[in-house]
Amino acid sequence: MTLKATSYGRLQGNGSKVQLCGYTGTMGNLTLRKPSKLRSRQSETNYSDGRFQLSLQMDGNLVLYSLSMPSQNLDNPYYATMGTINWDSQLIFTEAGYMYIDGGNGRNLSLRKEDPGSNETYYYIARIDHDGVFRIYKHLRKKDETSGGSCPPSWTEVQGIPEDICQAFVSNTNTIGGGLCGPNSLCSNDGPKVRCTCPPGFSALDQSDDWAGCTPDFALPSCQKENRDLVEFKELIHVNWPFSDYQLLQGPHVNRTSCENHCRDDCLCVVAIYNENRCWKKKYPLSNGRKNPSIPGIVLIKVPKNNDLYKKKQSMVVVLALLLGSSAFLNILLFLVIFAACYYLYHKKLNLPWNIDSTFATNVRSYTYKELEEATRGFKHILGKGAFGTVYKGVLGSDSKRYVAVKKLDKVVEEGEKEFTTEVSVIGQTHHKNLVRLLGYCDEGEHRLLVYEYMSNGSLATFLFGISRPHWNQRVQIAFGIARGLMYLHEECSTQIIHCDIKPQNILLDEYFTPRIADFGLAKLLLAEQTRAARTGIRGTIGYFAPEWFRKASISVKVDVYSFGVMLLEIICCKSSVAFAMGEEEALIDWAYECYKDKKLEKLIENDEEARNDMKRLERLVIVAIWCIQEDPSLRPSMKKVTQMLEGVIEVSVPPRPSLYASSPPSKMSSSEFSLSTIVTISDR
């Protein structure tokens, strides 16, 4: 790790110290020939291999790299000489502290900006330090007679390469990763050493390692309009995270206040930077952070209001709970309350009019119509309208943050009653992270209501087909989650479920953008020994229907596979299949297949650079989608196999051309949503 300009002396601590004080002999030059590599140490006190490397390459250039840990793959260089040097180059470090690259043709490239000092006065060493800077140090040869003849206390830095490594990382390295100091941190080079610090409200991920990055000390409130006043902004200056932008607002109408409000109303925005009628919105993780007086603009960090007060209240609740739990009297009282509640629920279960399966009755709660009317404030806030009713936003009990979605069934005729019985008896038994969970129900007189988890980020349709294109990796993970949810419905439930209306509008996103399959009101139920379902009154959406819906054909789980294939193409392209079907353009599945056949997959993703850099996975997803939309149901894979192909567990083969059905929907259909009444058969597996 250390180059010393001498052939004498004693090297201590694996290159940390060179003890030469008082030596009066002559020194020699040191020559480093290519290819040569030097590794930094892990930290000031840890001498194992660190994350930086100096290389004298075969082309003669001296290059500094960072390494991705623990893979130790080389990242883009953050410093390189880039000189015109021939193949005979070598790095020379003289005893006078002069360092240069000898090109072998009479041309030298100096790495020292100042004149070399006297080799009679100083010793010189050069090393790549744990912070990634290649430094030259000097040390007095002679003992200091004014201090009793003792040796000087330490080595003095002469020069560092690069001069500002924080700026070098921003200018020359990859935009992927946390940067020199890790995610959510700030790098500063305003002293003799590089410093990694955390912004206000953040703490080091590892208290023993300042280079591991930072984590926020707070949790922001859920992203609802009602919560916009629960956050405020801390102001900083002279800092920036240049690679965390996802939106730029600019123009004469943009000022500091509007910039703050835009960030306040945006779920993804955690930091906004305002400067001269421009507003940069940034999201986690904040990468390649830098602190320097030359950086312009005002930094606004979004934090919750009265965070300390909130923590104190939480602590008081914990203490109170412990005290209550230690009281024998309250424990006995709690036991009596639980016993009475169980007795009440048991007798209420016996009186359920729709013969709801007892295996799930204790998993969901029964609500009165009045309770749900109060929870929704008189059914005021409409979230959406579905095939069998309207969905409202509500709040349960005294917890103002526990939002729910209440589905009120408008139809109480026979079809609606069957729909209610199906949803309550089946959904109450389903438990999977990619399914919307049923919390309760109401069966009171003519009122039929269902209470679901509230999904704060809306539907996949809104997410995909909005103004800005979502990140490629986020779209891929959403596709994986939907596939796992469908596999659970088809193969892992005690009662097999066919959804029959898979589309982006029926995929909801929770606060972490995890996909949740919703609306089981259209599900096709199968007994364990059957693979087909007979049902009337099926509803669905143009652009997602499998071809067998338009024939007198057996309906199986493969209709969901077809719909998933269409939706997978939408996730890839961020284009709506319905828009294709209703417009003059070529159908989405035909266009996607032509792009695959002609090896022009880049057309599907347009200007999506993130997807362009992941062409291998893009091709695999397109091939899986084409297999899913085959006209013959027997050619379509099961959702288990689809999941394995998406995740790369099994290889995918070349698919045949899919049906041209989707490009020619029935001419009599004028709406994107329609009903079918069909007779289908039931057959044994």
Peptide bond into 162 cis (omega under 30): yes
Beta bridge partners of 31: 92
Q: Please report the DSSP string for 73-85 in residue order.
A: EEEEEEEE-----
408 is in an annotated binding site: yes
| C-beta separation of 638 from 491 below 8 A | yes
Name the one residue in this structure whose structure tokens are 């297949």: 593
DSSP 606-651: TT-HHHHTTHHHHHHHHHHHHHHT-SSGGGSPPHHHHHHHHTTSS-
Residues in CB range of 568: below 8 A, 6 or more apart: 479, 621, 624, 625, 628
Q: Rounded to an integer, what distance in angstroms lies between the CA atom of residue 502 and that of residue 543?
A: 11
Whether 204 and 210 have beta carbons less than 8 Å apart is answered as yes
Mutual orientation of helices 472-487 and 615-628 as an angle, nearest 10°? 30
Buried b (16+ CB within 10 A) or exposed e, 139-148: bbbeeeeeee
SS3 of residue 567 by DSSP? helix
Phi and psi angles of residue 341, each rounded to the nearest 5 degrees, phi first: -65, -45
CB 424 within 8 A of CB 416: no
CB atoms within 10 A of CB 560: 26
Residue pointed to by tokens 């040191």: 30
The C-alpha atoms of residue 93 and residue 30 are separated, in whole angstroms, by: 5
Residue whose token pair is 């060493």: 125
Token pair belonging to 499? 């959804």
Query: Active-site residue among 164, 210, 501, 560?
Result: 501
Cβ neighbours for 339, distance < 8 A, ≥ 6 positions apart = none
Residue of 125, 165, 129 whose CA lies nearest to 47: 129
Residues 6+ away with beta carbon under 8 Å from 194: 131, 132, 133, 165, 166, 180, 187, 188
What does the alpha-carbon distance between residue 638 and residue 655 come to, in Å, rounded to a whole number? Answer: 15
C-beta of residue 313 within 8 angstroms of C-beta of residue 203: no
The answer to whether 388 and 521 have CB atoms below 8 angstroms apart is yes
Q: Helical H runs in 193-306? A: 256-264
Write phi, then psi, for 413 (nearest 5 degrees): -70, 180
**Among 153, 155, 159, residue whose Cα is nearest residue 122:** 155
Pair 558, 567: CB distance under 8 Å: no
Token representation of residue 502: 């898979």
CA triple 37-41-42, angle to 5 deg? 130
CA 516 – CA 478 distance, rounded (Å): 9
Whether 641 and 623 have beta carbons less than 8 Å apart is answered as no
The phi and psi torsions of 371 (rounded to 5 degrees) equal -60, -45
| Alpha-carbon torsion (319, 323, 326, 330), positive or negative | negative
Is 399 tagged catalytic?
Answer: no
- Alpha carbons 430 and 599: distance in angstroms, whole number: 41
What span, in angstroms and rounded, lies between the C-alpha atoms of 109 and 84? 9
The token pair that represents 469 in the structure block:
């294109």
The answer to whether the beta carbons of residues 573 and 605 sit under 8 Å apart is: yes
Residue ranges at the known binding site = 408
Residues annotated catalytic, as ranges: 501
**Positions at the binding site for ATP:** 408
